[in-house]
Every structure is written in C-alpha cells, then in structure tokens.
Chain A
C-alpha cells in the first residue's frame, strides 16, 4: 500500500525533476530525456535512500528493530566488501603479470574480476581443505555442545573456538563448509568433465561424420532431453539407490555418472552445433579435398576453433551440474553423509531460519551453506558472461 503510494507520488516528481533539468541546463541530454528515464532516476534515488535508512535502523538500540534489519546490513556490507575486493584484484591484475593478462584485466568489467577472484579462492580452499579446516569434516568434537551459534561471542551463545558454530550433532560448521568446497565442487567438476568428454566427443564426431551416426545420436539426445533433467536424475537415482548397496559401489559414484550422462546430452547439442558451423567452412573442405584423415580434421582443424565456445559452455554446464547436485543433496538423494556437502547442510540446518527474528546469528548458518553455493555459481556465470561477450564482440 505504502509502496503504491510512493510509486504514484513519484510520477509528478519525475516531471518536475525533468523540467528543472531542462531549465537549468540547455544540454540535449535533458531536452531529449523521456519521462520514463526521469522516473527511473527518481526510483533509484528513493531506493538508495531507503537502503541507507534501513542500514541505520540495523544499528538501532532497540534489539527487535535491529534484528529485523540485521540481514540487510550484512548483505550491504558483503556487497561493498566484495566490490572492494574485486576492485583491488583488478588493480593487482593490471599491475603485474605478462602483457596479455594485463590487457585483459584492463578491459575486464568488475563483475568478471569478482568472478575470477571468487573462483580462485574456492579452488584454493577446495585443494587445501584439510590444511585450512580446524577440525575434520565428520569429527564430532567431544565435550562440545551441539548447536553453538555462529559469531563466536559467548554472550550470544557462541564459542570463539567455533566461529561459525556447530551443527545439530556438534560438528564444526566452518570445517564442514571448507570440506564442502572440496566435496561438492570436486564432484561437480569431475561430473562436468565426464559430461564433456562424452558429449563433446560424440557431438564433434556427429558433426564431422554426419550421416546415420549423426541421425541416430541426435534422435537419441532429443528423446533424453524431452525428460526434464532433474526429474530424470531423480528417477535414475531411485534405481541407483537399489543397485548401490548390492554392488557395493557408493551412491555418489552412481550420481556422478547419472548426472554426467544427462548433462552430456546438452553438451552434445552444443558441441555438434559448434562443430557444424566449423565443418561448413571452406578450410575444412580444403582439408577434406587434400585427403586428410578424421584425426587430423578433428584435432587440428575443428577442435582449436571450438575451444572458446566449449570453454564458455564448460563454465555454464559446471554451474548447472553443481546446482543439480546441490538440489539432489538438498532433497536427500545426492551426496551421501558423512561427506560434508553444502546441499545437505542447508537441509539439515534449514529450521534455524525461524529463529531469525530474535537470534539473527542462528539463522545465518543455513544461509551460509546456501550462500556458498550461490556465490560460486554467480561467480562462474559472471566470468562466462564476460567471456561470451568478449568473443562475440571480437567477431564484429
């Protein structure tokens, strides 16, 4: 209701705003400004003002009011923090390194710098998880209470030894988050690689050879793609969950293969399309007429020209696989305990959300795990978006 009133009140204000601008300067920018743009400016101004107000509210002495705006303050702080980190990272990239990377950093938008920085941090954490994590991922620390609140402030139910608190059976959340990077990211990465080997090989072969192989594979992929991927994955996981104990193979291995196969259909489509665009080029015809064999055609002529789009697709596919695994784990059929995994952690800790009104720190635990997932996929997407933009921009 208030919202509608504010929006309505902005209408005449926007007109006044534009009129004032036109009066004060004679720049064509003001003269040609449409009403919608003027309205947009005011809308942004109001929004920023509200955010500032809310930020101040969060420091209010009244605990209830402060709690209500606590998460907003954290979000704003994080946003500013990330932006500063990205700016510093980009400055660093511009200053050091070989000429080509410095040039790349100069043209890089902030979002891509942020994406790259985040990915580097995740990779480092994932590789050195055992060194960084204070406790083991399955370790139930003796003598420590379960459900210690994050924040490390004993007055608020925290414990300085466990900065992010402990979970419902007394495991250190920070350690589990760090190990989660290794497990979740590692498994997603392996799955994506597998999907690429499978789909990429078949896609390029189909495009190069054409004929019945292409027809057969493409029809098969059409059918597999007609089943929504998460649904198909759930169906196959059901079956795998019966097989797994009989064969003595962990369910997680099944999951890797199932998701890789389902995702390889998407990779196949793209690889085939990319390769097909290359195959019609005259230089491929020239190579064929020269009498070159399949190996030479694929490895020397096609693949080098397909790397850029395939690399971008790898990023996007990785996000997709990562989210699918997270969703499966969240639903309880993905990565199996006791391996620490972000999706499972979200599910286990989800109920803490309801304490947010009086103990905001308690609610942050599940959000941390979910945020860890979101942060990585956002980062990869930012980077890929820039890569795609760059490669399409260079063509023009």
Chain B
C-alpha cells in the first residue's frame, strides 16, 4: 500500500467567461492515501469545488483541463474512456454535494436513488441494497431509518437529506468520497449532527475523503491533513494539528487570526438613560401568520446589540418592524423616547434619516446602474440638501471614512467592485444620512472571513468616532463575540434570552443559548470529540442505539 490512492500532478484547469478561457486552477499537486481525510479550504473563488470535481475526472460545462493529470489507483482519469470512468464513479469514487435538496431528484424516492448506483454497478442486488441503505441510515442516526428512505426528497428536512446523501455516497463502499461543503447551507445546531455523522461513518469504513469547506473550524474537526488554496494555487499543506498551531505562510496566518478580532465591550450605560431605539412588546405577522411574539429590547447610544438566532427565528422580521416596512400588530417602537409611526410611509424625512440600514447582499443593495458617487451622493442631497461642490466634498469625506480612495472609485459601477468594497459603499450610503441608529442585517455573512473582519473593524471604528448605535443581526456567534455589547437570542419569533455580552458567554444561560453557543465549531481539532462526549452520543441525532 505504498502507492497513494489519488495523485494529482501539476493540474491546470481553465474556465470560460465571456468567450475567453481564464485559468481557475494553476498547477496544483495533491496526494491522498487510502483512508486519509484531506481538508481543502479556501475563500470563494479559490477553485476548491472545481478541484474537487476534477479529482473525480469530471469537469463542469465551461471548464477544461489544460495541463496535468489525475491518477486514481493507477488509472489516469483524464485519459480513461467515458465507459471506464463511469465504472469508477459512484462505485469507487463518490460525491456529496453542497445542497442535498437540489441534488436529489425530486421525482424519485430517496431509497430508489440510493440503490441506483449499487444495482447499476453490479455491487449488490436491489433488495440487498435497500437493506444496506436502512443500515446506513441507522449508522448515520437518521430518525425512522426503516421508513425514511421511502419518502420523497421534499418530504425530508435539509439536515436529514444531507445525511441521506452521505449514505448514498457510501452505498457502494467507495474508496474515496468528495464532500463539497456539505454543511454550509445548514444551521449550526443541525451542522453538528451532520458533521458527527459524516466523521463517524468515514472512520468506520476507512474511506478516504476530500473535505471541501471555507470554514476552518469545521475542517479542523474533519481532516487529518489540510491544504489551503488561494486563487487556484496551493498556499500550504500540513497535518491538521501542525497547521493549526503553526501556520507557515502569511495568508494562512491571517486566515487563522480572523477569529481573534474582538472589540472590548463598553461599560454598561447609566440607569435611566433614554435608549436610541426601544422596542417594546412588539408583535408582528405576515398576513394571518404570527411571526413575532412580544419582542422587547433597547439599543443605547454608541452601543451594539447583536440579535442572534437561526434561520426563521424572526431576527430579520424584527428589523423590518423597526424600519417600518412591516408595521407591527402590537407594541411600539421608540426613537429617542418618541414613538415612531408604524408604517415607514407615515414617518417624516427626519425620522427616516435617523434610522438607516446596511444589507446582507451588497450585490442587491446597490443599484447596478448607478456609480459609486451617485449612490453615496443621493442621501447627501436628499436629506441634507447639499448640491454641487459641497455635495461632492461631502461624498469624498464619506469615501475616505470607509477607506476607499474617491479619486479612484467615485465613477465606478458596483459591478467593478469586490464584495468587500460593495459592502463599504453600503455603509457609506447609510452614513451619508448622518443617522443615529444603523441596522446591520447579516452584513458579513456573504463575505470571506478576511474581508468580513475588515468590515467589522470599520464598523467598530465608525461607532467610536460617530457615537453610532448598531443593531447587529447575525447567526454567527464569532461575529457576536467580536463586536457586540449586548446580545439578544431569538428563536421562533420570541426573545429567549438577553443581556450584556460578558454574561451571555458565561454560564449559566438559557438551554437554547447553551445549545447555540456550544454548537459553534471551534478551531480546536478535539472540539467535536469533546462536545460529543459532554452531550452524550445519544444527543446527536434521533436514533437511540449506537451500533459501533
């Protein structure tokens, strides 16, 4: 067993954009031994998914190999005929995609899709494969393993579907599985279950795996070795522990350092201070469906309140209530002690000016047909009535505040900016109104970690300079730790827990806060193991028995 299972030599891949071929992967080498798990990490655009698929000898439409070779167990995958390759795929190399919901065929039952590969490849008969599938479901701790496979994909939840797909990948007991960001689309508490299930089954069967992700903490739990990619090139490779404790390259170090950014919490405000924004007993509903129940919290001058919760917890709805886009059905919202009209259309210009918003997707938050200068200038003119040279001067000031050179960026269109720069323009547009209160709706979750850190630092600096108050909506607890003064935990439209950050991150707290906090992966490679021990294995997933 001296020969590695998978070898990639000097691989170059190109992708087509605008009728031109541009390099995506620029000379990557990779070896993988049997039973080894390699973590492939990098930011968006690093080419990790493309590389993962290339390891299966597969290129998507508009991608081609320009140089290099991929050898799996002695077979050159790009030289092999279509038939030879088909005989390998599914049987010896399997794939787990990011979105299980989209990767299961909606027209067939899960088990029928599960048995397809083993039956087609002649590994086992259908009846046997069904039995094996049920066994795998049990190992992956899916609820009702006997029955769940006989449902259609849309009848099963996302986290369960992701585990069913892992089972499907295992159906022929492959030598290698490519996991392509299998937990990215899941909430943290669900992610834990899937991670644990994947890790266990890969270990059980001694399967080699390539685990692709952008999340360092996740990869630390899963991989034996980590390879860092940057714009299609390898930065460095090392054993997981060595890599975490002692990164060699600047880029890797900066990636590692992101999570260490932490702004000290500010002292609590004096008793009796009038908060900038006070949400009092707010109820809200979308049509007849109630979505918020009796929400109350305060945001004080110069402070940041982080509103945390998983998808569907109602945190963004709370923001819509404050902006007046969704008039509450009960309760009131005070701005500097004065109640605001429920509907934004009934608010006067000055009230509108004082409450601003920064959006999650900078792409959709900036008009693609307006230049950076026009976007920032509009609120300057609209609220402050500045024109001509005075307006231009103010826009320049704002652009300097967000650290973009006005000379260079004033005339650019949003499509000519990077994600982080776009988000900065969004911030400048909010600042241009000279507001007191800014709602930041998941402003960093669409950004790569390094860029996100820059945005957080910028927001923190602006807060100190301008005494701004933030409501920071996020699902990411690392962000909460970094920037918040106070934390509000939401679930199913209710506030479960709230208080100063220092108290929130220290026990005792509400059981849900506990679950949420403990589910956030940490960089420690033993974190998942310890967590599973403390929670007790039965806590993960719903299946009661541990068959190992």
Mark A residues whose CB is within 8 Å of B.
Answer: 28, 31-32, 107, 281-283, 285-286, 288-292, 300-301, 304-305, 393-394, 396
Contact = CB atoms under 8 A, between A and B. Distances in A.
A210 B393 CA distance: 38
Max chain B CB contacts within 10 Å: which of A31, A283, A288, A304? A283
6 contacts: A28-B81, A32-B82, A283-B366, A286-B429, A288-B344, A305-B367
Nearest to A305: B369
B440 interface: no
Interface in B144-173: none
B379 interface: yes
Which of A28, A286, A301, A396 lies at the interface centre, i.e. has the most chain B CB atoms within 10 A of its CB? Answer: A286
B359 A286 contact: yes
A235 B364 CA distance: 46
Contacts of A31: 81
Interface of B: 17-19, 79, 81-82, 323-325, 344, 347, 349, 352, 355, 357, 359, 361, 364-370, 378-379, 382-383, 429, 433
Given A32-B81, A32-B82, A393-B18, A286 B365 contact: yes
Contacts of B361: 282
A286 B378 CA distance: 11
Contacts of B79: 28
B382 A283 contact: no
Given A289-B344, A289-B357, 11 more contacts: A28-B79, A32-B81, A107-B18, A282-B364, A283-B366, A285-B325, A288-B344, A290-B433, A291-B344, A292-B382, A301-B367
Given A32-B81, A283-B366, A283-B367, A289 B323 contact: yes
A282 B426 CA distance: 11
Which 9 A-B residue pairings sit nearest by Cβ, starting from the closest? A304-B369, A282-B365, A282-B359, A283-B367, A282-B364, A291-B352, A281-B364, A32-B82, A291-B349
Nearest to A283: B367
B471 to A, nearest CB: 14
Nearest to A306: B369
Contacts of A281: 364-365
Main secondary structure of the interface of A (DSSP, over half): helix
A282 to B, nearest CB: 4
Scoring A282, A300, A301, A304 by chain B CB atoms within 10 A of each residue's CB, the highest score goes to A282
A286 B357 contact: yes
A307 to B, nearest CB: 8
Nearest to B366: A283
B352 A283 contact: no
A305 B18 contact: no
Contacts of A301: 367
A291 B383 CA distance: 10
A290 B351 CA distance: 10
Nearest to B356: A289
Contacts of B19: 107
Nearest to A281: B364
Contacts of A286: 357, 359, 365, 429
A292 B433 CA distance: 13
B429 to A, nearest CB: 7
Contacts of A396: 17
A109 to B, nearest CB: 10
A217 B346 CA distance: 27
A339 to B, nearest CB: 41
A290 B365 contact: no
A387 to B, nearest CB: 15
Nearest to B441: A282
B319 to A, nearest CB: 11
A304 B414 CA distance: 14
Contacts of B325: 285, 288-289
Nearest to B62: A396
A396 B63 CA distance: 14
Name which of A28, A31, A281, A301 has the most chain B CB atoms within 10 A of its CB: A281
A288 B357 CA distance: 12
Contacts of A282: 359, 361, 364-365
A286 B357 CA distance: 8
Contacts of A28: 79, 81
A283 B365 contact: yes
B352 A290 contact: yes
Contacts of B383: 290
A291 B367 CA distance: 16
A162 B318 CA distance: 79
A305 B415 CA distance: 13
Max chain B Cβ within 10 angstroms of own Cβ: one of A107, A285, A290: A290
A280 to B, nearest CB: 8
Contacts of A283: 364-367
Contacts of A394: 18
A23 to B, nearest CB: 16
Contacts of A305: 367-369
B379 A290 contact: yes
Nearest to A396: B17
A282 B358 CA distance: 9
B387 to A, nearest CB: 16
Contacts of B429: 286
Nearest to A394: B18
Nearest to A303: B369
A50 to B, nearest CB: 34
A300 B347 CA distance: 22
A283 B18 CA distance: 27
Contacts of A32: 81-82
A286 B18 CA distance: 32
Contacts of B369: 304-305
